Structure 1
């Protein structure tokens, strides 16, 4: 770790009033699309920031940008000291800092208000991925060459865990569990690992993809885990019951024609979204194990995807230098694309709440559903509790 107190020239944080987001969809389109074009190269990561009021992006142009979500205006451009592309930029929960990883073999922690580097650290190889824990105390990064997982103290930059050869090939993604007691990593070695921060041991080793595992995510209740891979599959693992040990994962396939690059669960875990190098995005009904929506519009590889907290919006970024915001709150009106399934049939039924058609798995042991996934989302206990907390704590 180096003590990097940057000068204004090193990490200039500037107000950039242009360009502004634009609506780019046909007049009668069922999914409204807002597009932000502000980076000069591939946008490699995107996330909602400041209670979904802002957007934080990291790019191959070596900058990190902050956008106002209402107008889509870039409010700050952080000129990092990275000498190569920024592979990811991730904010702390209190919005005071953000963490970056780069192919220049370094990571950097920034003060998001004044744009100064608080500290920086190094790997022996290109740093492909980074994340910050939900309590804002730890940061993690993964690299190639030495296949190393490093865990950092967010405030001091001290290396808490240094695990070289954690995988047999490049680490492609890293995330913290919701309780921040373990870290999940995916790799080009076609495996996924769960590393327990207390015992300092790998507790789960998942093998189910036949090619590079590119990304992963976990539900807030830690019952479901998802991985996406270059074998074009999205795999959902039941880690609560451990049935994956005998039956393996549920594979959601047939939707993407290219490698799956990223996956993310909705806040309540009822949906998940996958992005692909085929330039498309798919939204899946997790319980029914079927594709709900397919979104097209990017003209480059999709690099990152995520849901807004109210689940009305999807955000994606791609190598076409753009960030797209997809309004999916009325997407249950869109005719469902039914994929061929060998073991499980699919039937269409009508939602008793909104009256709109939705698809449902027609298996013998599947419980009968009377509400579409979107009505289930808005009536779920988790969603209602989070909405009430937001109303009670508008400043958080």
Structure 2
């Protein structure tokens, strides 16, 4: 809470108290109005506004814990021949990996915006792809019911993982890089050995659809969310579901876990986004503002910010603590299918239904 003194005249003044989020909203709206007004000196105004914006942040920064980050489009990556299904940053933040209905996985250099490697071998569209922690390998999964491991340098396939009987929708490396987690429309979650390609563990769930799964920090348990509004924790060694949280929300469209798995983002058919505490099943925050169905949501790495997209053709940035919208990127030309923050949280990517990837920062 900050105190501001408004001086009316030489004898009278008034104190007002504003929260950090209220100060941020005032600054944001003032800057937005400044951009809109004085169109006849637009170029000059942009220079002055940028200078004032930086000065305001410098003045406020000593009293704040973090900046209010404002994003603009920086780059566009083009090359895929069909709809993009998933995009991920490399752990070092220098590269992107994308996968598409065109059956390819592509690696991009962020600095040059150029495609630097292509991985081909899947016989149907690729649903997800991810870098290994050392940036040397890429893991992918597909409608062809397989998981494949690729060498980044050569572009060659290293391993083929087979066993799922339906579309494989998601994959993840364990923290030590020795195991792979996968989930599928066949209603199973499986653990694989990276070196041998063998299936190590499997659990079958009586659920319509697994929306998200993630290794816990010890790599011995998996937390997962399903379309029956339930979070489950699966103990890999015993093969048992050891914890279950029910009835988180009405109709869950999709979900995203925070990095430490302590929180989960859920978005549903009522156009809202909600954060739940995984341990207690309590709702801790709700974000309202989208006018149509939400299509994608993502936590920033520090869990202080959420980015979302919607059928209302906007991307919105939210402050997790206050629940307030801090920025709206309106006028998106088509539906945004996915969002992902960079490892440092300073940029994020979006991929619309236009065979391209957009970088914001």
- TM-score band, normalised by shorter chain: 0.7 to 0.9
- Aligned equivalents of 2:312 and 2:122: distance in 1? 29
Cα deviation, 1:260-281, whole Å, max 9, x if unaligned, reads: 3433221222112233344432
- Aligned equivalents of 1:130 and 1:64: distance in 2? 14
- Aligned equivalents of 2:147 and 2:224: distance in 1? 17
* 2:45 aligned with 1:45: no
Aligned equivalent of 1:154? 194
Question: Given the two structures, how large is their TM-score scaled by the length of structure 1?
Answer: 0.67
Runs of 4+ in 1 over 4 A off after TM superposition: 26-30
Aligned equivalent of 2:333? 299
Alignment of 1:160-239 (within 5 A): 160-164=200-204, 166-202=205-241, 203-220=243-260, 222-239=261-278
- Aligned equivalents of 1:161 and 1:277: distance in 2? 39
- Aligned equivalents of 1:277 and 1:86: distance in 2? 24
Change (3 A) 1:304 1:175: farther
Tell me which structure has the larger Cα radius of gyration: 2
- Aligned equivalents of 1:277 and 1:152: distance in 2? 37
Is there any run of 5+ residues in structure 2 with no aligned partner, and where? Answer: 1-41, 51-69
- Aligned equivalents of 1:284 and 1:324: distance in 2? 19
Change (3 A) 1:215 1:239: closer
* 2:290 aligned with 1:256: yes
* 2:167 aligned with 1:126: yes
Contact 2:202–2:239 (Cα < 8 Å) also in 1? no
- Aligned equivalents of 1:223 and 1:188: distance in 2? 19
* 2:327 aligned with 1:286: no
Aligned equivalent of 2:7? none
- Aligned equivalents of 2:250 and 2:266: distance in 1? 12
Contact 1:226–1:237 (Cα < 8 Å) also in 2? yes
Report the CA distance between 1:52 and its aligned residue. Answer: 0.6
Cα deviation, 1:78-109, whole Å, max 9, x if unaligned, reads: 12x22221110111101121111111222212
* 2:307 aligned with 1:267: no
Q: Work out which of the residue numbers 50, 60, 74 in structure 1 matches 2:101.
A: 60
Change (3 A) 1:261 1:152: farther
How many residue pairs match? The answer is 293
Is there any run of 5+ residues in structure 1 with no aligned partner, and where? Answer: 1-25, 328-396
Contact 1:175–1:183 (Cα < 8 Å) also in 2? yes
Report the CA distance between 1:38 and its aligned residue. Answer: 1.6
- Aligned equivalents of 1:260 and 1:194: distance in 2? 26
Across the aligned residues of Structure 1 and Structure 2, the Cα RMSD in angstroms comes to 2.5
Higher relative helix content: 2
Contact 1:216–1:262 (Cα < 8 Å) also in 2? no
- Aligned equivalents of 1:118 and 1:218: distance in 2? 30
